[in-house]
Structure formats: structure tokens, C-alpha cells
Amino acid sequence: MESPCQKIVWDVLPAIRAAIAVELVKCGVSQVEAARMLEIAPSAVSQYLSGKRGYRIEFENEVKKSIEQLAQDLRDGRNVNLVQRTCDICHQLREGEESQCGSSSDTPSKERCGS
């Protein structure tokens, strides 16, 4: 059985980073600069963009808006607490998942939500 912490570390955090990287690059930020902003290796950004990593979750609604806003703030050079903002997005995702899909932790979110 997969613990909630495993799910977050293996699926959720990489998916959030991937979504932020995609948003940054869509806004004209280079992969190297996106990596610097996200404090990750440029190879990780490349893998996020190619779908080799962080592809298991698609974000919608308020979570997607939060990711877009974080990418915009990073691009604009705002002083951002990246760890806290990422945690906030993760909490937002989990709250939405519980309210929309039930709270059973035995079933992966994509299966519960039918996405």
C-alpha cells in the first residue's frame, strides 16, 4: 500500500514542478533560467517538458490558477518563497481532491476523479 507521503513525493511534487516549468517556458523563460528559478537541474526541466517526468497529474481550476500565478511571480522576479508556495498548491490540490472525489486513500486520484 502506498502511503500519502509517497504519493506526494513521487507524483504530486514532480507534477507541480513540471506544471510550473511548462508555464515558465510558455512565457518565454529559457529552460536553464526556469531551472534556476525552481532550484532544480536543467535536465529536470527538460524531462518535465518532454513528459518523461512529472506527467501523472493534470491540474484544473484553482490549482491550475495557483500554478500559473506562481510561474508569473517567478518570471516577474518577485521575491517568492518557493517551498511555501509549492506546499500551498499541494494542500489546495489535496483539499480539492477530498471534496470532489471522496477521501479514500486506497484509490489513486485519477481513478477516483475519472480524469
pLDDT of amino acid 29: 97
Residue whose C-alpha is closest to residue 105's, from 11, 24, 21, 17? 11
Q: Is the entire prediction scored with pTM above 0.85?
A: no
**CA 24 vs CA 16, 90, 113: distances in Å:** 12, 19, 27
pLDDT over 50 (residue 8): yes
Q: Where are the alpha helices (DSSP H) in 8-107?
A: 13-26, 31-38, 42-50, 61-75, 82-101
Q: Which amino acid is at 41?
A: A
Q: What is the pLDDT of residues 97-112, one digit of tens each?
A: 776 544 444 444 433 2
More confident residue, 105 or 38: 38
Average confidence (pLDDT) over 76-83: 96
Cβ-defined contacts of 4-7 (< 8 Å, 24+): 4/105, 7/108
Tell me the percentage of the chain whose pLDDT exceeds 70.
Answer: 84
Check if the beta carbon of residue 75 is closer than 8 Å to that of residue 24: yes
Mean pLDDT of 74-92: 96
